[in-house]
Amino acid sequence: MTADDMIAMLRKTYALPEWVLAEQAASRTGYAARRADAVAFNCYQSRGLEIIGFEVKVRRSDWVREMKSPDKAEAVAAYCDKWYVVAPDGIVHDGELPKAWGLMLPNDKTGGVRIAHQADQTDTKPVSRTFLAAIMRGLVRSDETVIAERVSAARKSAYDDGAADALSDSRDGRAEAQLAVLSARVAEFERVSGIVIGHHAGRLEAKAIHAARVLTDDYASNFTRHADQIERFLPKLREALAALETLRGQLLAEDVTT
């Protein structure tokens, strides 16, 4: 889980119309200002216009360094009614939170964050103009981040849709080409065979059977005709063979006499 993931969870939990979330909120404008990962401002007067600060930690080593000098957060925390560490489960161990600090963990059910350890209410300093200017700058930065994410998501969606349409068009184009080839083959078959293929396969089947029968009848008729001719000429053929045999005998007798 990354810091951006945790910020996105904060953004989901602390959202309009009740909350405004400023990311990378500085203690003041100018050089060497301290920063918080985020500060949320409650917009409901009935709820006291609460201000909550957040420090995001996604690695155990970062949290260990933070514990060595927690006073660094005071530059921004002084303007906040509550201060929370926001981290994945297991980063912050029991008993490690500085006094008055709270802990928030990811909320798997909502996609936002949940309070694992309630922060104490603290006495806050009045919001200064320099802090307000830094917050306004952070809000603009947050809006730019959200807009960039939405533009990126829209581009990806448009690209995916375009790729899907292109694939569909390509498949349609191949189908049309295959249909054209098949149509040409059918037309050539109809031209050569004289059989016109209609909407019903039964027509083609009936014509094919009829053609086969005609062809069979033609062969049978020709066979019968040739058989009759052979049978009619068979006696004459036998007579001719007998005459040849007689002639052969006479020739053999003359050879012997000679």
Confidence check: pLDDT of 221 > 70: no
225-229 long-range contacts, CB within 8 A, separation 24+: none
Distances (CA, A) of 156 to 151, 161, 168, 169: 9, 8, 18, 20
> Is residue 175 very low, low, confident or very high in pLDDT (cuts 50, 70, 90)?
confident
pLDDT value of residue 163: 67
Non-local CB neighbours of 139 within 8 Å, separated by 6+ positions: 20, 22
Cβ-based burial of 91 (10 A; exposed 0-12, middle 13-18, buried ≥19): buried
pLDDT value of residue 234: 72
Confidence check: pLDDT of 213 > 70: no
Distances (CA, A) of 129 to 34, 54, 126, 181, 201: 16, 21, 10, 77, 87
Confidence check: pLDDT of 22 > 60: yes
Q: Which residue has the tokens 């005459």?
A: 243
Q: Bridge-partner residues for 26, per DSSP?
A: 35
Q: How far apart are CA 197 and CA 208, in angstroms?
A: 11
Confidence check: pLDDT of 196 > 80: no
> Is residue 21 very low, low, confident or very high in pLDDT (cuts 50, 70, 90)?
very high
Distances (CA, A) of 58 to 76, 105, 117, 197: 20, 11, 17, 72
Computed over its alpha carbons, how large is the radius of gyration of the chain? 50
Structural domain spans, the chain = 3-150, 201-258
Q: Bridge-partner residues for 86, per DSSP?
A: 56, 104
pLDDT tens-digit readout, 34-67: 889 999 999 999 988 999 999 999 999 999 999 9
Confidence check: pLDDT of 105 > 90: yes
Confidence check: pLDDT of 256 > 70: no
Q: pTM of the prediction?
A: 0.56
Closest CA to 14 of 96, 86, 76, 62: 86
